[in-house]
Amino acid sequence: MIFFLACVLSKHPVDTVTAPAAAPVADWAVWLATPGPVTVESWVSARWDAKLGSLLDLSDAACAGLPNAKVDIVLPVHVMRHPEKGDFLVDSGVPASMREGPGPVKGLIRAALGSFEVVEPVGEGMAKRGIVPRALFLTHAHFDHVLGLPELPVELDVYTGPGELRQTGQVAVLMASTARGVLDGRPTVHEWSTTEMKPLGPVLAIDVVGDGSIYAISSPGHTPGSMAYLARTAAGPVLFAGDTSHTLYGWEKGATPGNFTADHDTNLQSLRALKALAEGVPGMKVWVGHEMDGQGTGVASLPAR
Ligand SMILES: [Zn+2]
Compute, in angstroms, the gap from residue 244 CA to the centroid of ligand 1.
9
Query: How high is the pLDDT of residue 220?
Result: 96
Compute, in angstroms, the gap from residue 222 CA to the centroid of ligand 1.
10
Highest mean pLDDT among 58-67, 231-240, 288-297: 231-240
Compute, in angstroms, the gap from residue 9 CA to the centroid of ligand 1.
23
Domain ranges of the chain: 6-295
Q: How many CB atoms lie within 10 A of CB 238?
A: 22
Compute, in angstroms, the gap from residue 38 CA to the centroid of ligand 1.
25
Could you tell me which residues come within 8 angstroms of residue 209 by beta carbon, excluding any fewer than 6 positions away?
2, 3, 20, 82, 85
Does 101 have pLDDT greater than 70? yes
Compute, in angstroms, the gap from residue 144 CA to the centroid of ligand 1.
5
| Across 16-29, average pLDDT | 55
Compute, in angstroms, the gap from residue 55 CA to the centroid of ligand 1.
9
By percentage, how much of the chain surpasses pLDDT 70? 85
Compute, in angstroms, the gap from residue 145 CA to the centroid of ligand 1.
6
Compute, in angstroms, the gap from residue 16 CA to the centroid of ligand 1.
31
Compute, in angstroms, the gap from residue 291 CA to the centroid of ligand 1.
10
- Specify the CATH number of the domain 6-295: 3.60.15.10
Compute, in angstroms, the gap from residue 84 CA to the centroid of ligand 1.
30
* Gap between the Cα atoms of 29 and 281, Å rounded: 6
Query: How high is the pLDDT of residue 5?
Result: 44
Q: Are 204 and 198 in contact (CB under 8 A)?
A: yes
Compute, in angstroms, the gap from residue 25 CA to the centroid of ligand 1.
30
Question: What value does the mean pLDDT of the chain take?
Answer: 87
Taking only the tens place, the pLDDT of each residue in 165-191 is 877 666 676 677 788 889 888 989 999
Taking only the tens place, the pLDDT of each residue in 193-242 is 999 999 999 999 999 999 999 999 999 999 999 999 999 999 999 999 99
* Gap between the Cα atoms of 62 and 59, Å rounded: 8
Task: Residue 280: name the closest of 32, 26, 25 by CA.
Answer: 32
